[in-house]
Every structure is written in structure tokens, then in C-alpha cells.
Structure 1
Amino acid sequence: MELDEKEQEVLNFFEEQSGRWVLMKKPTLSLDTRLGEDLRMVWEEAGELAEAFFQQFNVDSHGFDILDYLGEELSFITKLYYKVKGQPIAETPNKPLTIRMFSESAKAGRWLY
């Protein structure tokens, strides 16, 4: 499928900004690339990238919260505490965060999700 101009601009932005890949081959990006699962971004890194995106593409970020998509990692100590206490670790599943979501929001001028 051929990308329209805005989709290509957004994809180029993510290709330029998605970091260095030293030990692993950088994945080929598409609109369906997920920041957390495919690019292995943690919430801090993805949050900074999102802020740069909102500024560069003049997108209203109202309603966007990176923790909805990439929750904070529990520390080793916290995980150990739960294990010692025999309590299950309640981890909230995150919603996927894809480049397509950014592309559609860039077209609309506001965060749509």
C-alpha cells in the first residue's frame, strides 16, 4: 500500500528519531510498528519521542498519556518484595502505541486516541 504524504513524513520522523541499534538490527518501520513491542522503547524514551512529534507536527497532545501505552516498569526490589510475600504482581496491560496512531493524529491536528 502506498503512503500519502503525511504518512510518509511521520514514518520518516520515526525512522530518524527511533534511536541507535547496536546489538540488534533495527526493524523495518511501517505504520503498524509498535513503539513498545517492536522498537523496545520504555515509557521515558517513547514519551520524549511523542513530545518531539507533537511539536514538530503541531499536534494538540491533550488526552495523551504515555503511561496508557507503556506503563512504568516495576523495579527489581518491588518485584522481589511481591515474590517474597507470595503476592501476585498486578501488571496492567497496555494499549498498543503504533506509528499509525501518530500519523492519523498528525492529519487531524490533535491526539485521536
Structure 2
Amino acid sequence: MGLDSVDKAVILFFERNSGKWFLKKKPEITLDTRLDEDLLMVWEDVVDLAETFFKEFNVDGSEFDIFQYMGEGPPFITKLSNFINGEKEVENSKAQLTVAMFSDAAKSGVWDGNQKP
């Protein structure tokens, strides 16, 4: 199934707003891109990005709870070091926050706090 115009707009939003990469090339952003593992985003940055996203796409984000998806875990520098060295991180039990979840919210106009990737 191909990408629709909303999917493309959301991917472009993440390409513009998900940070700068200096040591490695930024991964290609798709609907399956995970914000923490693929883009190495920390929860504080995701909260800021989500607020911007909700305004830009006119989404009711009142049900968005970052701690359902991210929060306590290894520090950013540990994640970066593991990524650079090709080491796997220990799995966590929280739901993965993906670009597709934001695209679904843009289409429906509301963040579904119960959605899973």
C-alpha cells in the first residue's frame, strides 16, 4: 500500500523536526521509524516535538502520555554509543512510538492513547 498525502506530510515533518545528526547519517524516515531506537530521541525532545506536531496538524493531543512510550531508561550518551558501536539495547516493555502513530493521529484529528504500533 502506498503512502497518502498525510503520510507524506508527517514523514516530511519528522525529517524537518527530529534533530540533526553529526556522527552518522540520519536514518531514512518511514512510517515504521521508531522515535527512540531509530532516531535516538529522548523523551523530553519527543514531548516538544509532539506539541509542535499537534499544533501543526490540528490534533487533539490531550491523551498523549509520553511515559506510556518512553521515560526512564539508558541515558542518551549510552544509546548513542551503542548505536555507533552497533550494540543492541536491552528490550523495554513500553510500546514503541512510531511515525505511523503520528500519521494516524493526523488523519483522525486526535491522539489515541490506547494505540499500539
Fold match (TM-score > 0.5) = yes
Show the counterpart of 1:17: 17
Question: How many residues get paired?
Answer: 98
Aligned residue for 2:34, secondary structure, equals coil
Show the counterpart of 1:93: 93
Aligned residue for 1:55, secondary structure, equals helix
> 1:74: Cα distance to partner?
6.7
**CA deviation string 1:10-57 (max 9, x = no partner):** 010000001100011100010000001110111001111111100100
Matches within 5 A, 1:25-36: 25-36=25-36
Matches within 5 A, 1:69-108: 69-73=69-73, 93-108=93-108
Please tell me the root mean square deviation across aligned C-alpha atoms, in Å. 1.7
Aligned residue for 2:12, secondary structure, equals helix
Moved more, 47-56 or 64-73: 64-73
Structure 2 unmatched runs, 5+ = 76-91
Given the two structures, how large is their TM-score scaled by the length of structure 1?
0.80
> 1:94: Cα distance to partner?
1.6
Q: Could you tell me how far apart the structure 2 residues matched to 1:73 and 1:39 are?
A: 15
